[in-house]
């Protein structure tokens, strides 16, 4: 511990020596103006840092990808949240549709509350064109629908009634056989 303290003092001393050297008159005589956007023309100092600004255009694809990443980030922050069927949006617990509603509300989308309403929200998307943030709807019971958020590479995030919490699950043939719809909301 004592040698660490002495090394710190030596490093601090070295840093002070460097600072003192750069503040010396010989250091001040260095001309760094060409590194700072200043140039000399004859005896005149000219600011050459002013340039015509580039016209940049936002890419809608980039914007969508950024928003989808925000949705996924928010969704992942809810991992482990307790499941409760019929959970209200202001509750600490979630069910599958309130989870979807909550994560999309974070980016300003007013997604309907129930899976029956959500299955008609957004645009249909082909399974071959799935991307992060798409909603997948499954029929597990005769009358009931379950919604999940596609994460990429064959994984979904959803509020699992069986596990009692929000989880990430690998898609399997059992999931595939129950798929009802895929929707894109972003």
User: What does the pLDDT read at residue 167?
Assistant: 98
User: What does the pLDDT read at residue 179?
Assistant: 96
Confidence (pTM): 0.66
User: What does the pLDDT read at residue 3?
Assistant: 42
User: What does the pLDDT read at residue 32?
Assistant: 47
Question: How high is the mean pLDDT of the chain?
Answer: 79
- Residue 42, exposed/middle/buried by CB under 10 A (0-12, 13-18, 19+)? exposed
User: What does the pLDDT read at residue 12?
Assistant: 42
Which of left, alpha, beta for 122 (phi over 0: left; psi -120 to 50: alpha)? left
Q: Which residues of the chain have pLDDT under 70?
A: 1-62
The CA R_g of the chain, rounded to the nearest whole Å, is 29
CA 51 to chain CA centroid, nearest Å: 33
CB 68 within 8 A of CB 109: no
Assign domain 60-184 one CATH number from 3.40.50.2020, 3.90.1720.10, 3.30.70.100, 3.40.50.720.
3.90.1720.10
Task: Please count the residues of the chain.
Answer: 186
User: What does the pLDDT read at residue 131?
Assistant: 95
């Amino acid at each position: 511990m004592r040698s660490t303290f002495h090394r710190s003092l030596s490093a601090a001393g070295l840093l002070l020596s460097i600072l003192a050297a750069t503040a010396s008159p010989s250091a001040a005589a260095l001309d760094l103006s060409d590194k700072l956007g200043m140039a000399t023309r004859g005896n005149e100092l000219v600011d050459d840092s002013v340039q015509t600004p580039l016209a940049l255009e936002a890419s809608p694809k980039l914007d969508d990808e950024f928003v989808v990443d925000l949705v996924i980030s928010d969704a992942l922050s809810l991992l482990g949240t307790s499941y409760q069927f019929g959970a209200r949006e202001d509750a600490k617990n979630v069910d599958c549709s309130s989870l979807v509603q909550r994560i999309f509300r974070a980016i300003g989308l007013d997604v309907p509350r129930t899976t029956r309403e959500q299955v008609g929200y957004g645009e249909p998307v082909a399974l071959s064109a799935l991307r992060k943030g798409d909603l997948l709807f499954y029929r597990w019971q005769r009358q009931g629908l379950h919604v999940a958020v596609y994460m990429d590479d064959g994984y979904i995030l959803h509020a699992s009634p069986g596990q009692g919490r929000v989880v990430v699950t690998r898609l399997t043939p059992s999931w595939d056989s129950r798929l009802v719809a895929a929707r894109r909301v972003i």
